[in-house]
């Protein structure tokens, strides 16, 4: 497993929801001089997606090299075909990741953009409208989707660009030689370049040398937590190690708050509910966010360590899909993110242990059955790597 490599002297700006993310993204693309890489799980041709598509085409018309990767499953077959036609007609190079599952079940769930090797964007936001659900049903949302991205300027952009460029080259169908060279890359363990603010690192999950890098970054942060750990995620179904990491931190006196999105998928909610009793008994504060779709995958530990990215706390993100998070060691950034999460916690509904003790037996049975089904499916598709 590749270690986390921090670089210093980065400027990391937190972008909340599409209202902050898309204007910044569009401005960067419109200012591009020679190169744009964009990768996303969902690219919907709604009013938001059309604005991004038009910006990409405008850049290509100026002579900028524009390269776009979208996931076939996330974007959908019909929309992938339509998007491919529109982009290629506008001079944009477009590749669809893993159409018809020809590469197995792995999806690219990453949301990344790099412009001119000068600025990068990374986070949880897909290319779609904030007020419509992203589950394929196009359900209107009562409030904008709760999600985050970051804008990166500084040395880390080089690392993000290298990752994007490598993924683009992989999708060209290059032979085993290139794949072997990528696999054999070595970097110093725990390397930190030029100490100083803001320290930041790109943390990816893939099926080469980064199978558990994101999970281990979370575990290390929880293991070293002294005062507080504030985490938010829409799909909570991690393996035992991460659940134990949360419980252990709470048992040793760390104030652990877990904000979970609910209401999107009934079986996903049931699986998450099956974990509540142990977490609550350990002292973890569990809060459900019901105001709108919670899609952010973020965390803050001790106001010193923070992460924003695409990785959910479930078996698909942690063990199957290609994901990308940024880890930031900067107090001001961590406090800004903490403030956003704490505001959402106040808007949420706290889950209390006594409420769970008195739930009907048939609800407990449903939670248990949902978890057993989930565990069986994950063990099959991860070839036994998922642990309960």
So which residues are the catalytic ones? Answer: 109, 111, 116, 295, 297, 302
The contacts of residue 137 (CB under 8 Å, 6+ apart) are: none
* Alpha-carbon span 231 to 256, nearest angstrom: 8
Give the whole-angstrom CA distance, residue 236 versus residue 312. Answer: 7
> How far is Cα 209 from Cα 224, in angstroms, rounded to an integer?
24
CA-to-CA distance for 335 and 171, rounded, in angstroms? 38
Radius of gyration of the chain (CA): 20
Q: How far apart are CA 183 and CA 169, in angstroms?
A: 14
CB distance 199 to 6 below 8 Å: yes
Q: Determine the angle formed by the axes of helices 47-61 and 17-30, rounding to 10 degrees.
A: 10
How many C-alpha atoms does 6 have within 13 Å on its Cβ side? 19
**What is residue 296's DSSP assignment?**
-
Structure tokens at 83: 């998007």
Q: What is the DSSP letter of 110?
A: -
Q: Chain centroid to CA 138: how far?
A: 21
Q: CA 372 → CA 241, 265, 363, 375, 378, distances in Å? A: 17, 16, 14, 5, 10
Angle between helices 240-251 and 213-224 (to 10 degrees): 10
298 close to 230: Cβ distance less than 8 angstroms: no
Q: Are 299 and 230 in contact (CB under 8 A)?
A: yes
CA pair distance 369, 375, nearest whole angstrom:
10
**Which distant-in-sequence residues (6+ apart) come within 8 Å of 53 by Cβ?**
45, 83, 86, 87, 90
HEC profile of 126-152: CECCCCECCCCCCCECCCCCECEEEEE
């Amino acid at each position: 497993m590749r270690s986390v490599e921090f670089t210093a002297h980065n400027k990391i700006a937190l972008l909340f929801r599409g209202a902050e993310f898309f204007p910044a993204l569009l401005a960067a693309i419109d200012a591009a001089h020679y190169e744009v890489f964009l990768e996303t799980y969902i690219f919907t041709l709604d009013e938001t997606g059309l604005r991004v598509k038009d910006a990409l085409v405008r850049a290509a018309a100026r002579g900028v090299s524009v390269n776009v990767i979208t996931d076939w499953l996330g974007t959908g077959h019909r929309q992938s075909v339509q998007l491919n036609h529109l982009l290629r007609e506008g001079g944009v190079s477009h590749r669809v990741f893993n159409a018809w599952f020809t590469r197995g079940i792995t999806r690219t769930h990453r949301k990344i953009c790099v412009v001119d090797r000068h600025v990068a964007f990374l986070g949880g936001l897909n290319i779609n409208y904030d007020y419509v659900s992203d589950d394929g049903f196009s359900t209107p949302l009562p409030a904008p989707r709760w999600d985050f991205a970051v804008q990166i300027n500084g040395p880390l952009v080089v690392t993000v660009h290298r990752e994007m460029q490598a993924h683009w080259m992989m999708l060209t169908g290059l032979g085993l030689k290139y794949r072997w060279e990528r696999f054999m890359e070595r970097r110093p363990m725990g390397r930190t370049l030029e100490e100083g603010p803001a320290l930041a690192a790109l943390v990816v999950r893939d099926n080469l040398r980064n199978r558990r890098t994101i999970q281990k970054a979370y575990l290390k942060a929880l293991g070293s937590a002294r005062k507080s750990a504030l985490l938010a995620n829409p799909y909570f179904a991690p393996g035992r190690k991460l659940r134990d990491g949360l419980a252990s931190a709470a048992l040793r006196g760390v104030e652990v708050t877990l904000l979970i999105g609910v209401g999107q998928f009934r079986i996903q909610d049931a699986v998450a509910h099956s974990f509540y009793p142990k977490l609550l008994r350990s002292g973890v504060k569990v809060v459900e966010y019901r105001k709108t779709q919670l899609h952010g995958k973020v965390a803050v530990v001790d106001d010193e360590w923070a992460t924003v990215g695409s990785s959910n706390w479930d078996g698909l993100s942690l063990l199957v899909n290609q994901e990308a998070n940024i880890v930031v060691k900067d107090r001001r950034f961590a406090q800004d993110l903490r403030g956003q999460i704490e505001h959402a916690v106040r808007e949420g509904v706290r889950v209390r242990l006594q409420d769970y003790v008195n739930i009907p037996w048939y609800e407990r049975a449903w939670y248990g059955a949902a978890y057993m089904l989930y565990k069986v499916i994950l063990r099959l598709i991860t070839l036994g790597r998922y642990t309960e």
